[in-house]
Structure 1
């Protein structure tokens, strides 16, 4: 599944440091949600874990996304104690949690893997971690007449990178954050949504938007024109982003899902940075009124969910 030709040998999955919150569990994300009128539930007994509430076909659902779940039973108990006793709960943990099946949660989606890039203060060591072809493309970009700029993400709904991202989502038939939420993040967390752009003369040929949250950061949006791809502008921007993150004391960059089947080129790009794989925990559905009664059904798929 991960045969990507020149990609370096795949390292073993790693565990996130407990002091690094994912974007979906960060105070910065919570502030953005509040700004767009989607107030999350904070579980102060579980280190302010964020629980989102959404309605699907008129049914309210509680959602726990990219959270560490060392004690899943306690989480389910606290959610019920918060008044959500009959509310279906969607759980997408940061790492596999086989115990969810034994508690009666049903597996809905098998685990994906994300790329996590350690940001090093030693820039020579960081460059040495790059895959050879990735490093060659970076050197190629550095030899071009490219100018890199960095700024806070403008609060502009018609910004070119938001339009490009929307077009890409439509073309590839996937859904990511709405532009309004991205702009809310930039507005609610001044300086934490950083836009890097590569210019050739007056033409903008590539851009990436990185969101910072505590000691972590997330690779959020990226786009390159055909000219930008020929100039390896994306590599240059990513390297500049790594430099800036290092200067701000950021320890880890989340590159998002590694999809080698439908987006092999992007997977090669992400892994070429020296990122390592970390397996997520899939998606589970738990309905409190049934409790453990569905555990026998969950057992059928436990192996696929990391059990």
Structure 2
């Protein structure tokens, strides 16, 4: 009986249409997150804003724990041992992007400057190189690099091919001597702008190298592409909000007239209908958001690094839905209820 009532007054179609709109928004948000992850993986864990540099004094050794910054950072040293795979030393502070793991675990803060020699390898490393580089011993896997043996604590790789498949990472403090080529992921722009690092209050001059970005981010212009997607979705949401709201209010004009004839003011009727409308779209969006989030996190194992961004995007989209809905309610009021109110005034 309730479904039939909803069908008569247009509520059923309103629910269906806003469920579809919510699915579109959530899917676009998830797609954007996956594209960000793919971009990082195809760049070999380098951020789009990362910068490459060399030390002016290449003989100087740096204790990266003493870098003067209050922002998280990840530093890579490109070892370039001329192997078939890419090898890098790594150190990070506070937080970093954790790639999808096939087995084992990624680095943690306890793996650095603690006398450890550990490595995280891409899922393809060791399949096309000699047994002397990757080998098993005592039920554990080991990796030999630069004359040292590292315990392999994890294997990384996504469900699609990427540069991390052929990447070998070792903790930076285990390498005695580095090639003079570094890449830093950080939001602290002072180092790049000042052409210097501040380490324990001491300035160390660097030379920033302009390297062409590579990977999917540059190839298809993903940032512009994603902005275009959200602009398109916003346009669809605006137009659909106006049409859905107008349709729903028109379907309920008879109900409004009956209530008004029974002495209920149009303002009260309008407020009640507006609240009902907002509750319907909020319930639809909340249902789709929560259901899809559980599905993505549990079933697809969404990268924890993107959960905050994913949630914020959902909240921002909900804000736009409310904004466009309020706009459509205002339009419906001017086009429907105000003329009705004028008729009521002339009648009285």
**TM-score normalized by the length of structure 2:** 0.23
Give the number of the structure with larger relative contact order, counting CA–CA contacts within 8 Å between residues 6 or more apart: 1
**Bigger proportion of residues as strand:** 1
Taking structure 1 as the reference length, the TM-score comes to 0.26
* Higher share of residues assigned helix: 2
